[in-house]
Amino acid sequence: MTLSLAARLTAALTAVVITLTLLTVTLMGLSLRSRVEAEMASSLSRDVTRWQALKDQELRVLVELGRVAAANPAFTAAFAEEHAEADALLHEQRTVLGVDLLALVGVDGTVIASTGERTLPGMEKVMRQQGQVLLPASAAPLFAVAQPLQSNGLPVGFLVVGAELGGEDLRRLGEGSEELEALLHVGPRLVARSVRDVQAKALLAAAGAGGANGAEVDAGGVSLHVSRVPVGEGLELVLARGAQAEWARMRGTLMGVLG
């Protein structure tokens, strides 16, 4: 039976409408995916900015503590004392100041006395610029500053003040943001973690294999957008966010279009 002209026109128009609808949905899906990726990149960028703000705040505190402590003449006099006496002074004052490290360092970078390890990679950078990282072999990394010490107007060394970089930093970073996953690591060694929906080792492996900052990776079956932030001396901060909430909104939008 030959279809009437009206039937053929109806079929053609229906096909056009279906094609246009599918094309619209496809383009909207691509647009929304791009929007989700942009939102994830923006959120991670804000996380990085917040991390830097927290470190800047901690730097100001450490600098002020170092300035106040360096006014104590006992620290300058300690350079002429036995190591045991200098160590005792540092341990006592560390408790008073509420910091994680106090160290007396000669002008050549030699650690004279310390409340922690005496071998502290990164010390030369701390002596040159405030707010650098010290990386003890067996203890937590430290965010540190160095306050010059003088005797009779001549430099005798530095008083180094440090605070541990670890779980407390990640806790403060994640306040008010349940979706944020974060960890600190040096190579394969995990220093601290704050993760909920993913295993820390899976996140570390995925971040190492990922591409540019903000890229989407598979971390043990969990899809995350990841950003990596160098902290210093090989210490790295890994930040990750899942896009589930954004994708849920996208699905709602598509369902609204499809009716």
Residue 94 has pLDDT above 50, yes or no: yes
Least confident window among 29-33, 59-63, 186-190: 29-33
pTM score of the predicted model: 0.81
SS3 115: coil
Q: Quick check: 72 and 78 in contact, CB under 8 A?
A: no
Alpha helices in the chain (DSSP H): 5-70, 73-77, 83-97, 123-128, 167-174, 200-209, 244-258
Lowest mean pLDDT among 101-115, 170-184, 233-247: 233-247
Q: Give me the percent of the chain exceeding a pLDDT of 90.
A: 63
Predicted local distance difference test score (pLDDT) of residue 165: 97
* Domain 72-164 architecture: 2-Layer Sandwich (3.30)
217 pLDDT tier (thresholds 50, 70, 90): confident
Q: Which two tokens stand for residue 92?
A: 């006592």
**CA dihedral sign of residues 143, 120, 209, 205:** negative
| Full strand arrangement of the beta sheet holding 132-134 | 111-114, 101-106, 154-164, 142-151, 132-134
Q: At what angle do helices 5-70 and 83-97 cross, to 10 degrees?
A: 130
- The contacts of residue 230 (CB under 8 Å, 6+ apart) are 236, 237
**What mean pLDDT comes out for the span 205-223?**
83
pLDDT of 248 over the 70 cut: no
Q: Per residue in 51-75, pLDDT tens?
A: 999 999 999 999 999 999 999 999 9
What is the structure's pLDDT at 1?
45
Spans of all domains in the chain = 18-56+171-258, 72-164
Q: In this predicted structure, which of 27-36, 74-83, 106-115, 138-147 has the lowest mean pLDDT? A: 27-36
